[in-house]
Amino acid sequence: MGFLKVRNYIIVISLLFILTNSSANMFNYVYGIFHSGKQQENFIPYENTKLKISIQYPSNWQKEERLNDFVTFVAPIEDTSQYRYPAGLGISSMSLSNISLNTIKNVHIKNMTDNFKDFQLIESSDIVLTDKRPAKKIVFTAMDGEEKRQSLQLITKNNDKIYLFTYKADVDQFDKYLPIIQTMLNSLIFLK
């Protein structure tokens, strides 16, 4: 039996021991820790005809559709003592025509600089999405309420709409959730 299998069996046995000898509150705490580790995500499809997109997201993430062509996908809460999602992806669109992506990016960065406390630009670059569509990438940190968060934003166009994809996470969780976000964005399809 390999080292990883032995280690996994020890973890499961330890958890069973804790669960059988603890209160319900301890069960919730252990359950949150056990499910927040690196595990294979099960992605499910999501389609939004108003946004004209299709995307896959982890089945254990919460989906929230809002007015004005806006949807968010948020990771499960890891720390039950704080009712705060550790990461999420928001998708919004607006109708704009005859404005370049570069102009939109520059105005967007200026607005964030003016409006976000402690805004710090980390990266601003041109990228190409999976479907060969050009996009602008912005990575930054800023205060989100009382917490400093790191964000990655993609700005792109489809027909007469501008799309803004915003991945936001706790600074110390950003790299942990980034592969999930990349998988989600790689599954993105713009509908006709």
Q: How confident is the model at residue 41 (pLDDT cuts 50, 70, 90)?
A: low
Average pLDDT (95-118) is 89
pLDDT at 49 over 60: yes
pLDDT at 17 over 60: no
| Angle at alpha carbon of residue 108, lines to 105 and 113, rounded to 5° | 125
What 3-state DSSP class applies to 179? helix
The domain spans of the chain are 1-35, 40-190
Question: pTM for the full model?
Answer: 0.76
pLDDT at 37 over 70: no
User: Residue 162: which of 92, 111, 110, 84 has the closest Cα?
Assistant: 92
pLDDT digits (tens, 9 = 90+) for 144-185: 878 889 999 999 999 889 999 999 999 999 999 999 999 999
What 3-state DSSP class applies to 18? helix
Superfamily classification of domain 40-190: Mog1/PsbP, alpha/beta/alpha sandwich (3.40.1000.10)
